[in-house]
Amino acid sequence: MQKNLDTPEKAILVYPVVGKALFGDWQADFDELKELVRSADLDLVDEEVVFLKEVNSKTLIGKGKLEELRGRADALGVDLAVLGVNASPSKERNLEEALGVPVVDRTQLILGIFAKRARSKEGKVQVELAQLRDLLPRLSGKGGQLSRLGGGIGTRGPGEKKLEVDRRRIGTRIHVLKQDLKQVERHRRLQRGSGRREAFPMLALIGYTNAGKSSLFNMLTHAHVVAEDKLFATLDPTVRRVRLPSAQEALLVDTVGIIRDMPENLLQAFRATFEDFEQADAYIHVVDVSQPNYRAKIEEVNDVLRKLELLGKPVLYALNKSDLIQPEKLRLEEDLKKQAVVISTKTSDGIPKLIESVEGLLEALTKLPAPKGGAVGS
């Protein structure tokens, strides 16, 4: 199905819930999915949470519910169905046949958002590589055009007659993109060897997507990084030098946000970008404390760091968006009380105390042995 990429596609969001949700309660998960759809610039015209006692082996969802959803999709002129979980290629094809519209799962939705957000050459290469790796097992039975890859949400691979040819084309393109990323890594190593790293410690702003990292980065560095109220507004890392009231100086890096069940293809493709985490001397972990499940999101970020073998660095928690909650209702766990500052980048509440804590963190870093390797420059 050809789509007009210049106008928002009408989408229906279908979220199957089997048993007890693993990430907080299902409502929090569903709200995040709706934010993903909004961040993908889709026109969400309908939504359905489907509670399942058991999963249908072919379509995830039972025949009766699918017939109901198809009727609603037809009546609303839906262009696309967003599945709130990840699905195998065969289940995805069966769902498309049952619903009568293209289906994208959670991973494809996230990749589509990254495709829309990527601005630098490096970012575009990383996203295309992740999309191609995801596309390969989904090729069979797909219509559309391979040339539309990278256009965003709902892009599709070639038809059956060209399947083997296009598999070879994709394999060749993946090889080229991997070489391009190796060039990026070499360039980063040269930057690290420039001597800039030796002069200043490096602090990386990390956190769940849309926690307010870019807003804090702009506040501390007087920069103008895009800080939209959307998931994954920042993809390309930005580094600036910051001078604190105590006259201490450091490099501050704004990094890509983390999300639950970060697609593995995305983690692999963005490995070079995540090196900013590796080169940092310490982290400022920005947390949206207005979210009831903020603690679970902290653990999701830590889980990604664990996968990258980057846990263990000093960390200062900046508990952001305090303006959205009543302070007396905020109950911090004991492990956060000693290393967290409650702030609001919107009202500037808590920022002086955070800066004071950053100065203390930098003082502590000067007493530690120098880390191996260097940092990324801007």
Q: Per-10-residue mean pLDDT for the chain, 378 residues long?
A: 60 87 70 92 95 90 96 96 93 95 93 83 85 83 43 48 76 91 76 61 93 93 72 73 92 88 79 76 95 90 89 94 84 81 95 96 78 37
Nearest to 145 by CA among 130, 125, 162, 126: 162
- Do 96 and 122 fall into the same domain? no
pLDDT value, residue 3: 45
For residues 177 and 233, membership in a common domain is answered with no
- Among 133, 159, 192, the domain-final residue is 192
- The pLDDT assigned to 273 comes to 67
pLDDT at 368: 60
Q: Which residues pair with 165 in a beta bridge?
A: none
Residues 229 and 351 in one domain: yes
Query: How many domains, the chain?
Result: 3
Q: Which domain holds residue 118?
A: 114-192
Query: What is the predicted pLDDT for the residue at 234?
Result: 63
Residue 79 included in any domain = yes
pLDDT at residue 373, rounded to an integer: 40
Q: Which of 257, 271, 304, 302 is nearest to 113 (CA)?
A: 257
Question: What 3-state class would DSSP assign to 78?
Answer: coil
What is the CATH number for 198?
A: 3.40.50.300
d(CA 172, CA 369): 45
In a domain, 228, yes or no: yes
Domain end marker among 76, 104, 132: 104
For residues 256 and 208, membership in a common domain is answered with yes
Same domain, 213 and 296: yes
Domain identity same for 256 and 357 = yes
- Are residues 225 and 235 both part of a single domain? yes
Q: What confidence score (pLDDT) does residue 194 get?
A: 55
Q: Are residues 345 and 268 both part of a single domain?
A: yes
Name residues whose C-beta falls within 8 Å of residue 125's C-beta, 6 or more positions apart in sequence.
177, 180, 181, 184
* Res 62: pLDDT: 94
How many alpha carbons lie under 13 Å from residue 268 in its C-beta half-sphere?
A: 13
* pTM for this predicted structure: 0.80
- Whether 198 and 187 map to the same domain: the answer is no
Residue carrying the six token digits 């593995």 = 264
H or E element: which one contains 337? helix 334-337
- Dist. CA 370–CA 201, nearest whole Å: 9
Domain boundary among 45, 76, 104: 104
Predicted pLDDT at 147: 40
* Same domain membership, residue 145 and residue 123: yes
What angle separates helix 121-135 from helix 106-117, to the nearest 10 degrees? 160
- Are residues 271 and 360 located together in one domain of the fold? yes
CA–CA gap between residue 30 and residue 161 (Å, rounded): 38
Query: How high is the pLDDT of residue 272?
Result: 65
151 with 67, same domain? Answer: no
